């Protein structure tokens, strides 16, 4: 589904503060693989995620998504395949728009935003049904502004929004970093459920080793722009939480 | 009484600017001061075409296109060259001064015995009443069009662009393109105000746009204060309040002048008035905290 070949990302080339954020990474992510990326600050894991998302373009190397070469494609043109959840709950939703408006935009992620009114009774009902699956009691508040909700509620809604339109790849950039433990757990469970239910290929970047241990069927550790560990399938299930701690030892 | 009627009519003429500033400042979150130039541009194009005995129906689309091009230029400079929006606006506004002067050929074009949107239909024998009804219909049509636009999928994407850029890019919208379209729309509206005002006052002047951005800004800030105060989320009500803001603004100026303030101080009074409406909500918050 995603193929990253010999990708380098260099910041401040030719200056004293040169950074090799991603230093020659080769990574093949199969369909329906749920990849967890761990690594200390500055290890290049977020840059790697952004290279897939298109917010950062590589200095060299190629990126393929679903067989298409997307190496030079801008982020907004990759929305055809990719849905994203950001670290900051504010980034994934528009606070001054109603929940309904936010969902409308998400429902046409892969399509053109045309000059017709898309929010009708049918659509409202569809959104309500979707939101009620969260069990947060938000289904009757769809006219409320997104900004009036808590960070946890917004992250959960962002997740739901990602499957409003056809989605192949879900990128989760530390989605629970700004949340309290309870909200974080709800968000991670929702993510896991949606990934299974919609057969998504997913990448989760996290600092939370418990989440890294609990979720996903493949885990890699990044360090200084390179992949240090790569464990998948049965080996990932057999991995103990203490093994992960040892990676950082 | 006529004094206040004139204020009302001016308010209606300038309500298109208020809508334009509402789009650039509130929806796109871009402080756009191309306005001063594109307002005069609207006036200059109108006067030039009418003096050349062109029909109003030709002038209208040309004015809209001229304003849109000016706005799109600011948008292009801002997004493609990554230049601060304020500076991009100032650059285009400055260049527009020469464009306008070249178009007009001199600094002032009086409109005598030329066609006018206000003489197209005769509803009332009284000139001002006639102007009022025509302006009302004109502004109503613009407001309906903008209101509809903001309700469409494209309009929601516009609103999201100024609100959460990362989100809307992730949802497949080219935000650069969106901003260029938004600034084009805002300045087309501004040029429309120039179109209306030139015909209402009967002349176009190279200096007619000086400080007009403050008028639009003031109108939007009055509207915003009311929107926040009344907790309004409806698009239609917000637009109506923006229109009211434009009219209230002209009334305040009219009342100030009627108290005997020297007209040379008008721009200073305008600036102080805008300062007051911007700062009053903050001052009152401070005392309650």
- pLDDT tens for B157-179 read 999 999 999 999 999 999 999 99
Higher pLDDT among residues A235 and B71, named by residue: B71
- How distant is the Cα of B139 from the closest Cα of chain A, in angstroms? 21
For residue B282, what pLDDT band results from cuts at 50, 70 and 90? confident
Average pLDDT of chain B is 92
Q: What pLDDT is recorded for position B285?
A: 57
Q: What pLDDT is recorded for position B270?
A: 86
Which residues of chain B does A105 touch, with a Cβ-Cβ cutoff of 8 Å?
Answer: 153, 156-157, 160, 167-168, 171
Q: What pLDDT is recorded for position B284?
A: 63
- The percent of residues in chain B predicted with pLDDT above 70, rounded, is 98
Residue among B163, B170, B174 whose CB faces A96 most closely: B163
The neighbour count for residue B288, using CB atoms within 10 Å, is 5
CATH code, domain with A216: 3.40.50.300
Pairwise CA distance, residues A11 & A225, whole Å: 12
Residue B23 in domain:
yes
Pairwise CA distance, residues A22 & A35, whole Å: 17
Span B124-132, mean pLDDT? 86
Show which of residues 100-129 on chain A sit within 8 Å of chain B, judged by CB atoms. 101-102, 104-106, 108-111, 113-119
For residue B38, what pLDDT band results from cuts at 50, 70 and 90? very high
Residue B126: partners with Cβ closer than 8 Å, 6 or more residues away: none
Residue among B151, B160, B233 whose CB faces A105 most closely: B160
Span B238-266, mean pLDDT? 91
User: Would you state the structure tokens that stand for residue B239, as one six-digit string?
Assistant: 């637009």
Domain with B132, as residue range(s), is 10-213
| A81: contact with B, CB 8 A cutoff | no
Task: Read off the pLDDT of residues A8-21 as tens digits, 9 standing for 90 and up.
Answer: 999 998 888 888 89
CB contact under 8 A, B174 and A92: no
Q: What pLDDT is recorded for position A10?
A: 93
Q: What pLDDT is recorded for position B180?
A: 97
Which residues of chain A does B151 touch, with a Cβ-Cβ cutoff of 8 Å?
Answer: 117, 119
Q: What pLDDT is recorded for position A89?
A: 87
CB contact under 8 A, A117 and B151: yes
Nearest in space to B46 (alpha carbons), one of B96, B114, B121, B98: B114
Which residues of chain A does B174 touch, with a Cβ-Cβ cutoff of 8 Å?
Answer: 74, 76-77
Residue B120 in domain:
yes
Q: What pLDDT is recorded for position B286?
A: 52
Residue B81 in domain:
yes
- Is residue B175 within 8 A of residue B165, CB to CB? The reply is yes
CB contact under 8 A, A79 and B149: no
Please identify every stretch of chain A with a pLDDT value under 50, giving residue numbers as ranges.
none
Which residues of chain A does B159 touch, with a Cβ-Cβ cutoff of 8 Å?
Answer: 94, 96-97, 101
Q: Are strands B108-110 and B203-205 parallel, antiparallel or unpaired?
A: antiparallel
Domain with A95, as residue range(s), is 2-247
SS3 A67: coil
CB contact under 8 A, B167 and A80: no
Span B204-226, mean pLDDT? 92
Residue B239 in domain:
no
Which residues of chain A does B168 touch, with a Cβ-Cβ cutoff of 8 Å?
Answer: 94, 105
| A45: contact with B, CB 8 A cutoff | no
Residue among B151, B172, B174 whose CB faces A110 most closely: B172
Pairwise CA distance, residues B58 & B49, whole Å: 8
Query: What's the structural domain count of chain B?
Result: 1
CB contact under 8 A, B233 and A76: no
CB contact under 8 A, B166 and A91: yes
Long-range pairs for A194-198: beta carbons < 8 A, 24 or more residues apart: A194/A159, A194/A160, A194/A162, A194/A163, A194/A170, A195/A34, A195/A170, A198/A163, A198/A167
CB contact under 8 A, A84 and B170: yes
CB contact under 8 A, B156 and A110: no
B154-191 burial, b at 16+ Cβ within 10 Å, e below that, comes to bbbbbbbbbbbbbbbbbbbbbbbebbbbbbbbbbbbbb
Nearest in space to B99 (alpha carbons), one of B206, B171, B192, B187: B206
Residue B155 in domain:
yes
E strand or H helix that includes residue B110: strand B108-110
Task: Read off the pLDDT of residues B181-191 as tens digits, 9 standing for 90 and up.
Answer: 999 999 999 99
CB contact under 8 A, A93 and B233: no
Which residues of chain B does A117 touch, with a Cβ-Cβ cutoff of 8 Å?
Answer: 148, 151-153
């Amino acid at each position: 589904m995603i193929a990253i070949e010999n990708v380098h990302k260099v910041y401040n080339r030719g200056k004293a503060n040169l950074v090799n954020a991603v230093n020659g990474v080769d990574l093949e992510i199969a369909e329906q693989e749920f990849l967890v990326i761990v690594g200390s600050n500055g290890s290049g894991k977020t840059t790697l995620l952004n290279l897939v998302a298109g917010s950062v373009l590589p200095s060299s190397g190629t990126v393929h998504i679903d067989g298409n070469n997307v190496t030079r494609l801008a982020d907004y043109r990759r929305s055809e395949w990719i849905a994203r959840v950001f670290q900051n709950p504010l980034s994934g939703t528009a606070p001054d728009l109603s929940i309904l408006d936010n969902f409308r935009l998400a429902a046409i992620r892969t399509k053109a935003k045309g000059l017709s009114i898309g929010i009708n009774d049918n659509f409202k009902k569809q959104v309500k049904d979707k939101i009620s699956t969260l069990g947060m009691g938000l289904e009757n508040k769809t006219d409320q502004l997104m900004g009036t909700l808590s960070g946890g509620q917004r992250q959960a809604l962002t997740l739901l929004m990602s499957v409003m339109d056809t989605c192949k790849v879900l990128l989760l950039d530390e989605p629970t970093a700004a949340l309290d433990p309870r909200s974080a757990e709800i968000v991670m469970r929702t993510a896991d459920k949606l990934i299974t239910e919609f057969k998504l290929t997913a990448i989760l970047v996290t600092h939370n080793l418990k989440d890294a241990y609990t979720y996903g069927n493949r885990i890699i550790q990044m360090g200084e722009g390179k992949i240090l560990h790569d464990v998948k399938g049965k080996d990932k299930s057999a991995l103990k939480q203490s093994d992960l701690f040892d990676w950082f030892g | 009484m006529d004094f206040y009627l004139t204020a009302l009519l001016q308010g209606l003429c300038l309500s298109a600017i208020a809508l334009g500033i509402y789009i650039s400042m509130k929806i796109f979150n871009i402080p756009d001061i191309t306005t001063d130039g594109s307002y005069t541009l609207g006036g200059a194009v109108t006067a030039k075409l009418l003096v050349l005995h062109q029909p109003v129906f030709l002038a209208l689309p040309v004015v809209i296109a001229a304003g849109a091009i000016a706005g799109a230029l600011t948008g292009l400079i801002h997004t493609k060259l990554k230049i601060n929006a304020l500076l991009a606006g100032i650059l285009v506004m400055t260049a527009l001064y020469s464009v306008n002067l070249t178009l007009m050929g001199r600094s002032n074009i009086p409109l005598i015995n030329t066609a006018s949107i206000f003489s197209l239909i005769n509803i009332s024998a009284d000139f001002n009443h006639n102007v009022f009804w025509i302006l009302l219909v004109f502004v109503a049509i613009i407001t309906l069009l903008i209101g509809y636009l903001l309700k469409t999928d494209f309009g929601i994407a516009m609103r999201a662009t100024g609100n959460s850029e990362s989100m809307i890019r992730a949802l497949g919208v080219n935000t650069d393109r969106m901003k260029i379209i938004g600034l084009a729309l805002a300045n087309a509206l501004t040029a429309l105000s120039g179109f209306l005002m030139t015909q209402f006052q009967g002349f176009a002047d190279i200096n007619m746009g000086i400080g007009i951005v403050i008028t639009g800004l003031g109108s939007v800030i009055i509207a915003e204060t009311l929107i926040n105060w009344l907790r309004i989320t409806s698009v239609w009500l917000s637009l109506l309040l923006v229109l009211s803001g434009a009219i209230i603004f002209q009334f305040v100026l009219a009342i100030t002048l009627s108290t005997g303030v020297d007209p040379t101080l008008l721009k200073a009074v305008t600036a102080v008035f805008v300062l007051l409406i911007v700062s009053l909500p903050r001052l009152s918050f401070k005392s309650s905290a």
